Amino acid sequence: MLAVKMDVPEGGSDMSLHEDHNEGWPLERRRTVGSGETNVGAWLTFLAGLIMLAALFYWIGTRLWQGRIPLAPPLNPEAQLRPAVPREGLDSEEQEAVELFKKVSPSVVNVDIVTKAKRVPWDNRIFEIQAGTGSGFIWDDDGRIVTNFHVIQELYQRPNWSLRVVMADRSAHEVIVIGVAPDYDLAVLQFAPHDFPSRSKIRKVELTTSHDLEVGMKAYAIGNPFGLSLTMTKGIISALDRTITSPAKTLIPGVIQHSAAINPGNSGGPLLDRFGRLIGVNTAIATAGDNAGNVGIGFAIPSDTVNYVVTQLIRNGRMLQPDLGIKLCDQRLLRRARFDRGVMIAEVVPGGPADKAGLRGIQRNWRTGLSEPGDLILAINGQQVDSIADYERLLRQLKPGQRARLTIERGEQTFDVEVIVGGA
């Protein structure tokens, strides 16, 4: 029988703990606990065995069952095409879109800025390098093309580069710039004389007015998003009379907001009504970030503005700015002099529109030697003028040759004067 002997201090006595002694309970307790652990281990082993046995029977059963199912051979040399269900006719919406695309797509082009160069000095092969791309459309029977100014703007920083358009049949042609209008983000191009396509390919876009558009009307866009040529999308006119900023940092008024999906590369492409007629030129999108894509908010310059600006560019090679033939006083000096409203004419250009209408600038009284105030412009066509910024904004809405009504304050009198807008 096992015993454990313990040393005790001097004067003590030897003490032995025997297995069957009353004070030997710790040994008995350890023996009991060990027996319980053995029982638990046996049960776990038994359960694990049952699980493994069940898994074995399941595997054998599935194999036997699969063996009863005949498997098709992996290859069948006699395989035939599946019969396809004949397509039903187009509904009215589809028919409208299909006909519109067939009608307008031959008029839409890709506009690319390109050059040709060697990639490495020791390789004599010439490669084409593309700097930017956008969209455009044929404007008239003479082969003029309309696009956005910002699509070709980089050309002015790359003098050795050239412009190329790719037509719907994928033929590429060199084009030249006829005129640009950065204030309206528009440009007019024309096929180069030495690379003019056949007349049968010149198919201009049909034009309609934009002043009578209504929110909710259908709008279609065709263009070159991300280089994907002749992509058509559909939406509605979401709002009218929006304002966006041009490449010249001026405001473009009367812009159309629409929901047809447009993305980088759509710029300069046409916005169309359901008949395939031009109602605007796609120009910009609202995005959630610098590199984000379309979120359903696109902007197009209205066709009425496009028609006017493009005609000016074709006639003059540049956009004539509306001009009344006046110079204005500094606004801060005017307010310090206690003129609390309007803008004051400082000088009238001799022979200009204001001079012909009898308007006056600041004049010196030859009798007293004192300066007399010029006419104050309080409104243009009924719209109030409270600052030079107001005057410039309203002036940009006028067109050369148009008649404008100015509300004038001269001394104690207030009256209206009709002025024929000039161009400069």
Positions annotated as catalytic residues are: 150, 185, 267
State the Cα–Cα distance between residues 128 and 216, nearest whole angstrom: 44
- Between the CA of residue 249 and those of 22, 136, 243, 246, 252, what are the distances in Å? 105, 22, 12, 5, 9
Q: Are 317 and 178 in contact (CB under 8 A)?
A: yes
CA angle 213, 216, 218 (to 5 degrees): 80
Residue 242's contacts (CB-CB under 8 Å, 6 or more residues apart) are 254, 255, 256, 257, 299
State the Cα–Cα distance between residues 165 and 168, nearest whole angstrom: 10
CA 341 to mean position of chain CA atoms: 40
Here the tokens at position 278 are 């031009």
Amino acid at position 66, single letter: Q
What is the SS3 assignment for 239? strand
CA 305 to mean position of chain CA atoms: 21
Q: For residue 300, which of 317, 285, 318 has the smallest C-alpha distance?
A: 285
Here the tokens at position 233 are 């999308």
- Between the CA of residue 347 and those of 255, 299, 377, what are the distances in Å? 34, 39, 13
Q: For residue 275, which of 301, 249, 303 has the smallest C-alpha distance?
A: 303
